[in-house]
């Protein structure tokens, strides 16, 4: 059970969608919170009328939010589509690990999450804008934050282009693979005094247990196996078939 839980946590940690989903939901909740502040009149009047906050009308607010929402989702789709195509061509020369490094890279996940979060934020704020005929409500604070998020997306786009140009480099791929190997080696049992294995005659009456499933072993809960063997007064020897 522990091994399966560790495997599930590792799969979630390396998944490409987790961080973007969190940022997308965070953008929606941020929009609701800031709109609530505008509705409650928490923002002072002098700040609303200053040049630091958006002080335009409802039509301008809708145009602005619509532009932010359409451009962020459009750029995100276009950029990542082109990137996947470039990675597929590069992976033919450097191996499929290049795609795996791309999907679990936190920088790439954050960039996609920033675009999706800004898109969600703009949509949630857009639904609250009202004209004079509808009740005249413009969330000035939320609009200003939306403009700031648009500039953040521009910065993340510049970062993403430079980041991916370095990730496709052969030296970077080799360095990432070597780090994975060192991490796997460090996870092995520490060197030290080990108990001597029993002689071959000890396993004469042993019964083999064969797993008929295909694939490869991803997680092994050695501690639970050892505890079960000690409680059952038996011995287990793990064999590898080639």
Tens-digit pLDDT profile for residues 141-198: 899 999 999 999 999 999 998 888 877 777 777 777 777 777 766 666 656 666 777 8
Question: What span, in angstroms and rounded, lies between the C-alpha atoms of 148 and 157?
Answer: 14
Q: Is 57 inside a domain boundary? A: yes
Instruction: Report pLDDT for 72.
Output: 95
Instruction: Report pLDDT for 27.
Output: 95
The encoded tokens of residue 16 equal 């490409």
Question: What span, in angstroms and rounded, lies between the C-alpha atoms of 95 and 186?
Answer: 24
Q: Is 72 inside a domain boundary? A: yes
- Find the domain containing 102 and state its range: 7-184
Q: Is 189 inside a domain boundary? A: no
How many domains in the chain? 1
Q: Is 26 inside a domain boundary? A: yes
Instruction: Report pLDDT for 213.
Output: 77
Q: Is 224 inside a domain boundary? A: no
Instruction: Report pLDDT for 154.
Output: 94
94-125 burial code (b ≥16 CB/10 A, e <16): beeebeebbeebeebbbbbbbbbbbbbbbbbb
Q: Is 44 inside a domain boundary? A: yes
Instruction: Report pLDDT for 161.
Output: 87
Instruction: Report pLDDT for 6.
Output: 65
Q: How many CB atoms lie within 10 A of CB 223?
A: 10
pTM of the model: 0.71
The encoded tokens of residue 227 equal 């505890």
Instruction: Report pLDDT for 121.
Output: 96
| pLDDT < 50: residue spans in the chain | none
Instruction: Report pLDDT for 218.
Output: 65
- Which of 42, 174, 180, 66 minimizes the C-alpha distance to 126? 66
Q: Is 119 inside a domain boundary? A: yes
User: How many angstroms from the chain centroid is the CA of residue 135?
Assistant: 40
> Percent of the chain, pLDDT > 70?
81
Q: Is 20 inside a domain boundary? A: yes
């Amino acid at each position: 059970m522990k091994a399966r839980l560790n495997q599930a946590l590792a799969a979630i940690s390396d998944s490409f969608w987790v961080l973007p989903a969190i940022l997308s939901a965070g953008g929606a909740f941020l929009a609701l919170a800031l709109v609530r502040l505008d509705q409650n009149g928490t923002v002072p009047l002098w700040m609303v009328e200053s040049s630091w906050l958006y002080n335009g009308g409802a039509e301008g607010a809708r145009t602005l939010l619509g532009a932010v929402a359409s451009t962020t989702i459009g750029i995100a789709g276009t950029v990542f589509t082109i990137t996947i195509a470039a990675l597929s061509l590069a992976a033919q020369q450097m191996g499929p690990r290049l795609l795996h490094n791309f999907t679990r890279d936190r920088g790439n996940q954050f960039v996609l999450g920033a675009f999706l979060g800004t898109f969600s934020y703009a949509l949630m704020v857009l639904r609250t804008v009202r004209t004079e005929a509808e009740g005249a409500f413009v969330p000035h604070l939320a609009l200003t934050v939306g403009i700031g998020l648009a500039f953040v997306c521009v910065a993340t786009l510049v970062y993403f282009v430079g980041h991916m140009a370095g990730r496709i480099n052969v030296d970077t791929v080799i360095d990432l693979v070597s780090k994975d190997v060192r991490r796997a080696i460090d996870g092995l049992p520490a060197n030290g005094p080990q108990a001597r294995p029993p002689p071959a005659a000890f396993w004469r009456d042993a019964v083999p247990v064969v797993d008929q499933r295909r694939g490869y072993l991803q997680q092994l809960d050695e501690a639970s196996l050892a505890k079960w063997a000690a409680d059952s007064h038996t011995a287990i020897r793990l064999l590898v078939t080639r």
